[in-house]
Structure 1
Amino acid sequence: MWPFLIFCVVIFGLLGVMLVAAWFIGAKARHGGAQDIPYESGIVPVGEAEDMRLSIEFYLVAIFFVIFDLETIFIVAWAVAFEETAWLGYGAACVFIGMLLIALLYEFRTGALDWGVKRRVSMPGRYAKADAA
């Protein structure tokens, strides 16, 4: 019982020291002006939010990151269970990685990974109606 009581006293003592030190050392809050604006953490906003347009490439990179992050999770899970899955698991992992490579090559071919000059890739039969008109 005594060790637990000493532990609690030490914890609350450290808590009190940290709170008092933060009160003395910390900056005093000045309210008014940009400090009361919830946008940009109190920094004076520059322009309107509607004026800020982000390129679609930023969203594509975020989506690709999430997709490949999930794929990494699946591959690591397969590697952990490699002994239990044997050759069947190895074949499934090879098919999975092959599908990932096909998807990556498709993204590269269509220009989704190209941030340079925009180019239109002609896909056979895809724009047949639009080109015929």
Structure 2
Amino acid sequence: MNLLVFSSTLSIAIPTILLITSIFLRKRCTQDREKSSPFECGFDPKSLARVPFSMRFFLLAIIFIVFDIEIILLMPIPISLTLCNTTTMILVPTTFLLILILGLLHEWNEGALDWSK
């Protein structure tokens, strides 16, 4: 019985002590407008909602997603080289990379990757 009382007292005392110390030791921070606001696409959430969207930001995000997916699609190729015909497994990724490189060169020539403008 004595052990039961001790364990129940301890199970109440420890969370209470932790709660009280967290209240006294918490950070006293000032409210910063930039840190307390959510960040989305470079927009200021406290301004007008009818601000024109940056097409350069959108194009760069799409290019990033395309090359992210490209990496995911190219990852299983070394493993499948042992399972399939070698010439097919070399021809398919080479064609895939060639199409992506041509697309990247087109974007570069169109100026979508130039942020200095």
Please indicate the TM-score interval, normalised by the length of the shorter structure.
0.5 to 0.7
Deviation sequence 1:10-57 (CA, Å, 0-9, x none): xx8xx9499535334224799xxx79xxx716xxx7861337555321
Other-structure match for 2:74? 75
Distance 2:74 2:17 in 1: 44
Deviation sequence 1:48-75 (CA, Å, 0-9, x none): 1337555321111111111100001111
Distance 2:77 2:29 in 1: 52
Deviation at 1:95, TM superposition (A): 0.6
Aligned pairs (5 A) from 1:1-133: 16=15, 19-20=18-19, 21-27=21-27, 40=37, 48-50=47-49, 53-85=52-84, 86-117=86-117
Distance 1:92 1:46 in 2: 45
User: TM-score with structure 1 length normalisation?
Assistant: 0.53
More relative contact order in 1 or in 2 (CA 8 Å, sep 6+)?
A: 2
Q: Which amino acid aligns with 1:101?
A: I
Structure 2 gaps of 5+ residues are 1-10, 39-43
Q: 1:18 to 1:69 in 2, by over 3 A?
A: farther
Q: 1:107 to 1:46 in 2, by over 3 A?
A: closer
Deviation sequence 1:95-130 (CA, Å, 0-9, x none): 10111111111111222222344xxxxxxxxxxxxx
User: TM-score with structure 2 length normalisation?
Assistant: 0.59
Q: 1:17 to 1:83 in 2, by over 3 A?
A: farther
Structure 1 gaps of 5+ residues are 1-11, 118-133
Flag the structure with higher helix content. 1
Distance 2:17 2:82 in 1: 50
